[in-house]
Amino acid sequence: MRRAFVGLLLALLVVGAAPRKKRAHARPTPGTAADLVFKHGAVYTVDAARRWAEAVAVVNGRIVFVGRDADASRWIGPKTRVVELAGRMLLPAFHDSHVHPIDGGIDSLEVDLHGLATPAEVLARVRDYAAAHPDAAWVRGSGWELPTFPNANPTRELLDEVVPDRPVFLWAMDGHSAWVNSKALAIAGVTKDTPDPPHGRIERNASGEPSGALREDASELVTRHLPKRTAKDYSAGLVAALRIANGFGLTSLQEARASEESLAAYAAADAKGTLTARIFASILCDTEKGVADVPRLVELRRRYRGRRLRADGVKIFADGVLETRTAAVLQPYLGFGDDRGKLNLEPDAYKALAVALDAQGFQIHVHAIGDRAIRETLDALEAARTANGARDARHHIAHLELIDPADVPRFRTLGVVANFQPFWANGDEYIRKLTEPELGPERSRWLYSIRSVHDSGAAIAFGSDWDVSSVNPLDGIEVAITHREPSAGPGPAWLPEERIGLPEAIAGYTIGGAYLDFTERETGSIEAGKAADLIVLDRNLFAIPPDRIHEAKVLWTLLEGREVYRAEGFSEGR
């Protein structure tokens, strides 16, 4: 029964794939002209040999030729569009293997305070947004940084000056503080007499009045009054997300936390033909319910399936984050007694859930950050394999911030894909000031051990975790190589032994992601027979210093041979 199901699933996956061809010798059919030919390019194919080429020809959205300029001419007919690359780089379009597109899209439509350095800039942004959106009942946004304000404590009076008539709610970049104006506090009924909630703090001024900043759970006093997101909000967020993602060369997204609302938005776009990325969705599992939640997940998978949408994954949160000591670690955090964080599932319940999901043919996608959560996850996936037999499941663990060295080889032996967010391995203040002191030097050596996992022979995929961090794959690629913040310039690398090279970093965002999504026969490399999911970059990444990679720009993004993004000023050169 299970085998029959898996067989059916695989049959569905390969529908639409081209008939297998002898890749190296794809011959032109006499008289066939290509729709599109790229010439004089630095074409990095990411094929099995990591071969380079100069020219690529596309017919009907599919790559039919990859090779030398001299051999490309026979594909050029009177109606062929010839793209003169003039040495610019052609790559397979990028995959993001862990991303929250709709959240990122919605953020981008609200007040976006990321990267603003002074209170004046922040307030100007809020004022401009409010003026441009007179009908918004609430002014909502995110991205202000704690150090921008004295004692990380911005006041409601600052916001009252720019938006006196409507409530304002603004998340700090880390999501652990919120900043509101007087109107929002009034709507929420938060006054001098409101006590702090058990896991939160209402910041107060000298006279005991709420001053405008809300820490942790205190923000819920206001968020519960925010208007609920509508289907229209989700769809608008998706439209914005696709525009942004396509602009960074992304055409395949592994949605890391799908709700029914987000699945409905993807399905609606897919039905309209406006879904300009392949979406592989991991549906969020209710871990409190555990095995009892599986029938609901099966039903959602059945209901939301389309040309570019599949919901064949299930997302499990195994633990929290290291910075707040909610990640589950094997040895106690230093200086906090015997606190070892918290696992969201008891080991036995976790194993039972993994066995049940695996038996239903789901791909299991786990958020696990601490070494204890990672070990328990590997144990649960091993239990699934033992109970159901080994199959081509491609279960994966995302984030993987602290892997115990004893567990490194288990990714390969269990066939579990390591899904890293390489941008985080940048040695920033979160790592140096929060993470390293609570782990100590010995354990900190095993933070973001991408090189060790890679060298163990495991399959690897890369993702951004946007809207948490930058969605630009070039940022992630750079940090994987440099272990420095992209804006930091040259200097010593943090934990240099875990860096990888450019070929491995590109593979993580292309063929590695395709493997994770079960689409490696269709996309992820530039080979005859595959879909023309392609990007043009303004420079060859192999010809520039690694700390300049984030400056490279995507000029053109194609999905199945059709333009989904074109940079201003880019022309085909003919």
Site for Zn ion, rule CB under 5 A: 256, 465
DSSP string, 130-161: HHH-TT-SSEEEEEE-GGGSGGG---HHHHHH
Q: How many angstroms separate the CA atoms of 129 and 316, rounded?
A: 36
In whole angstroms, the minimum distance from the beta carbon of 476 to Zn ion comes to: 14
Alpha helices in 347-458 (DSSP H): 347-359, 371-388, 410-414, 429, 436-444, 450-455
Q: Which uninterrupted H or E stretch holds 555?
A: strand 554-559
Nearest CB to Zn ion, comparing residues 154 and 370: 370
Helix (H), strand (E), coil (C) string for 491-547: CCCCCHHHCCCHHHHHHHCCHHHHHHCCCCCCCCCCCCCCECCEEEECCCHHHCCHH
In whole angstroms, the minimum distance from the beta carbon of 256 to Zn ion comes to: 4
Q: Which uninterrupted H or E stretch holds 58?
A: strand 55-59
In whole angstroms, the minimum distance from the beta carbon of 503 to Zn ion comes to: 26
In whole angstroms, the minimum distance from the beta carbon of 416 to Zn ion comes to: 18
Residues 464-491 as b/e (b if ≥16 CB within 10 A, e otherwise) read: bbbbbbbbbbbbbbbbbbbbbbbeeeee
In whole angstroms, the minimum distance from the beta carbon of 466 to Zn ion comes to: 9
In whole angstroms, the minimum distance from the beta carbon of 423 to Zn ion comes to: 13
Amino acid (one-letter) located at 129: Y
3-state secondary structure at position 98: strand
- Angstrom CA distances, 374 to 321, 393, 410, stand at 12, 18, 11
Nearest CB to Zn ion, comparing residues 101 and 341: 101
Query: Tokens 């491609």 sit at which residue?
Result: 394
Query: Which residues are within 8 A (CB) of 106 and not within 5 positions of it... i.e. 6 or more apart?
Result: 229, 233, 234, 236, 237, 240
Nearest CB to Zn ion, comparing residues 256 and 265: 256
In whole angstroms, the minimum distance from the beta carbon of 123 to Zn ion comes to: 30
Q: Kindly give the interhelix angle for 294-303 and 260-272, rounded to the nearest 10 degrees.
A: 10
Name the CA radius of gyration of the chain, rounded.
Answer: 25
Amino acid (one-letter) located at 533: D
In whole angstroms, the minimum distance from the beta carbon of 427 to Zn ion comes to: 21
Nearest CB to Zn ion, comparing residues 255 and 504: 255
In whole angstroms, the minimum distance from the beta carbon of 268 to Zn ion comes to: 23
> Do residues 98 and 421 make contact, with C-beta atoms less than 8 angstroms apart?
yes
Nearest CB to Zn ion, comparing residues 45 and 377: 377
> Do residues 99 and 254 make contact, with C-beta atoms less than 8 angstroms apart?
yes
Nearest CB to Zn ion, comparing residues 241 and 256: 256
Q: How many angstroms separate the CA atoms of 75 and 78, rounded?
A: 10
Query: Which residues are within 8 A (CB) of 469 and not within 5 positions of it... i.e. 6 or more apart?
Result: 421, 423, 424
Nearest CB to Zn ion, comparing residues 139 and 311: 311
In whole angstroms, the minimum distance from the beta carbon of 45 to Zn ion comes to: 30
In whole angstroms, the minimum distance from the beta carbon of 258 to Zn ion comes to: 11
In whole angstroms, the minimum distance from the beta carbon of 253 to Zn ion comes to: 12
Nearest CB to Zn ion, comparing residues 35 and 465: 465
Nearest CB to Zn ion, comparing residues 256 and 400: 256
Nearest CB to Zn ion, comparing residues 181 and 254: 254
Nearest CB to Zn ion, comparing residues 316 and 552: 316
Residue 347 CA, distance from chain mean position: 27
DSSP letter, residue 430:
I
3-state secondary structure at position 387: helix
Q: How many angstroms separate the CA atoms of 166 and 13, rounded?
A: 50
In whole angstroms, the minimum distance from the beta carbon of 464 to Zn ion comes to: 9
Nearest CB to Zn ion, comparing residues 203 and 475: 475
Structure tokens at 106: 């919605």
What number of other Cβ atoms are within 10 A of residue 353's Cβ? 25
Nearest CB to Zn ion, comparing residues 82 and 321: 321
